[in-house]
Amino acid sequence: MERRDYIGIGVLLAMVIAVPFLVDNPYYLGVLVFTALNCLTCIGLSLLMGYAGQISLGHAAFIALGAYSSALLTTLAGWSPWAAMGAGAVISAVVAVIVGVPSLRLKGHYLAMATLGFSAIVHIVAIAAVDITGGPQGIGGIPYLSFGDLVLDTDIRFYYFSWAVVIIGLILALNLIHSRMGRGLRAIHGSEDAACAAGVHTALYKIQIFIISAVYASISGSLYASYATYIDPGPFDVMHSVLLVTMVAVGGMHRLWGAVIGAVLLSLLPEILSSFSGYFQMIGLDYSQDYDILIYGGILLAIMLFLPEGLFSGGRSLFRYLYQKFSPAEEEG
């Protein structure tokens, strides 16, 4: 990790600690918990997209695997929520191997197709296997996580816990990309041939990264289940996978920090938009949630057209450009 990364983590930590002093409405804390869960998934997804150069359209399904493992193992088998979370992560890793190995051994974007199919299957099973998953009714009564006597049963407790997990997840991911393996992966972007000639086992690394990103999503799903204490198939559809990919792309997929920024912005966007709904009415528009998807689409399109490197890097270049243009040291008038 570079010094900048540590500064970034310090800033993030300070913000996480400070926000509850400004926001004490439980509804908004809840929104920030979901933001954290999206962040965690997006960090894993950004490893896959930005470093292994692959896209997954099935990360919502890995979230579902984590969530349903937690829900079922705690309510039916009486496991501790921690053990259930671990089991979910193992299941997701195994599924990632099954889905990933055949498609990642080929060059090209087969993984996107394979994960799309996998995602559809998981969603259908969640709806149709009523005896196990509760079908559309879902599963309730999922126990809270706890540390000894400290039960994570309030929004503020879960808020701190979920962001702590995000920060740990981010540090681990930063460790990984600043390692021999991360260098190998970045080298593949520059020249796959030269990377192979240097001994980089490209297919193996891509699979390992896919597994890691599936585990991140799975943990995020387990956290979701024990925060909400109730799950149904609704949030785990393909649309959510697409939204996650959008978050990573908007923030900038070649930077882990981009994933954090993209996930935060797009998770908060619906709240920002609905708080503006009054203005929409003033100009004769009846704002409804249905417009969200339109706005997401518009944002994605605009980013891809004008800031293809994402907000993080794009914003930096823009800042540099403006600085050079308006800096007083400039000689031209």
Partner 1 sequence: MAQYPLLRISGLRKVFGGVIAVDDLDFDADTGSITALIGPNGAGKTTVFNMITGFLPPTDGEILFVERKIEKLPSHRVARMGVARTFQHVQVFSQMSVLENVMVGRHTRSKTGLFLSLLTPPFWRPEERRIEEKAREWLSFVGMEGIADRPAGSLPLGNQRMLEVARALAAEPKLLLLDEPASGLNARETLAMGELIGRIREMGITVLLVEHDMELVMEISDQVVVVNFGRRIAAGTPAEVQLDPDVIAAYLGE
**Binding site residues, partner 1, CB under 8 A:** 1, 171-173, 175-176, 178-184, 186-187, 189-191, 193-202, 208, 212
Shortest Cβ 54–partner 1 spacing (Å): 16
Q: Which is nearer to partner 1, 195 or 247 (CB)?
A: 195
Q: What is the C-alpha end-to-end distance of the chain, expressed in Å?
A: 41
Shortest Cβ 62–partner 1 spacing (Å): 18
Q: Which is nearer to partner 1, 178 or 230 (CB)?
A: 178
Shortest Cβ 147–partner 1 spacing (Å): 21
Q: Which is nearer to partner 1, 61 or 174 (CB)?
A: 174
Q: Which is nearer to partner 1, 180 or 283 (CB)?
A: 180
Shortest Cβ 203–partner 1 spacing (Å): 9
Shortest Cβ 149–partner 1 spacing (Å): 29
108 φ, ψ to 5°? 110, -170
Contact 162, 223 (CB under 8 A): yes
Q: Which is nearer to partner 1, 119 or 313 (CB)?
A: 313
Neighbours of 217 (CB within 10 A): 33
In single-letter form, the type of residue at position 257 comes to W
Q: Which is nearer to partner 1, 220 or 226 (CB)?
A: 220
Contact 271, 35 (CB under 8 A): no
Shortest Cβ 81–partner 1 spacing (Å): 23
Q: Which is nearer to partner 1, 50 or 233 (CB)?
A: 50
Q: Which is nearer to partner 1, 149 or 193 (CB)?
A: 193
Contact 299, 314 (CB under 8 A): no
Shortest Cβ 104–partner 1 spacing (Å): 14
Shortest Cβ 219–partner 1 spacing (Å): 14
